[in-house]
Amino acid sequence: MALGLPQGTLSAANQAYFDKCLEKLGFVPNVLVAYAHDDAKLSAFAAFYNDLMLAPSGLSKLEREMIAVAVSSVNRCYYCLTAHGAAVRQLSQDPVLGELMAMNHRAADLPPRHRAMLDFAVKLTEAPHLIGEGDRQGLREVGFSERDIWDVSAVAAFFNMSNRMASAVDMRPNAEYHAQAR
Does the pLDDT value for residue 74 go beyond 90? yes
Residues 17 and 78 in one domain: no
The count of structural domains within the chain is 2
**Predicted confidence band of residue 182 (pLDDT cuts 50, 70, 90):** confident
Residues 18 and 75 in one domain: no
The answer to whether 74 and 126 are in contact (CB under 8 A) is: yes
Say if 151 falls within a structural domain. yes
CA 42, CA 101: separation in Å to the nearest integer? Answer: 28
Does the pLDDT value for residue 108 go beyond 90? yes
Residues 26 and 107 in one domain: no
Residues 49 and 69 in one domain: no
Say if 159 falls within a structural domain. yes
Residues 104 and 171 in one domain: yes
Residues 48 and 129 in one domain: no
CA 155, CA 66: separation in Å to the nearest integer? Answer: 10
Predicted local confidence at residue 181, as pLDDT: 85
Q: What percent of the chain has pLDDT over 90?
A: 92
CA 116, CA 59: separation in Å to the nearest integer? Answer: 13
Say if 16 falls within a structural domain. yes
Structural domain that includes position 114: 61-179
Residues 22 and 102 in one domain: no
Residues 88 and 172 in one domain: yes
Q: What is the mean pLDDT of residues 142-152?
A: 98
CA 120, CA 67: separation in Å to the nearest integer? Answer: 9
Question: Residue 161 belongs to a domain with what CATH number?
Answer: 1.20.1290.10
Does the pLDDT value for residue 180 go beyond 90? no
Residues 81 and 35 in one domain: no
Q: What is the mean pLDDT of residues 57-61?
A: 98
Q: What is the mean pLDDT of residues 33-62?
A: 97
CA 120, CA 77: separation in Å to the nearest integer? Answer: 19
Say if 21 falls within a structural domain. yes
Say if 34 falls within a structural domain. yes
Positive or negative: CA dihedral 44, 63, 152, 109 = positive
Average model confidence (pLDDT) for the chain? 96
Q: What percent of the chain has pLDDT over 70?
A: 100
Question: Residue 37 belongs to a domain with what CATH number?
Answer: 1.20.5.810
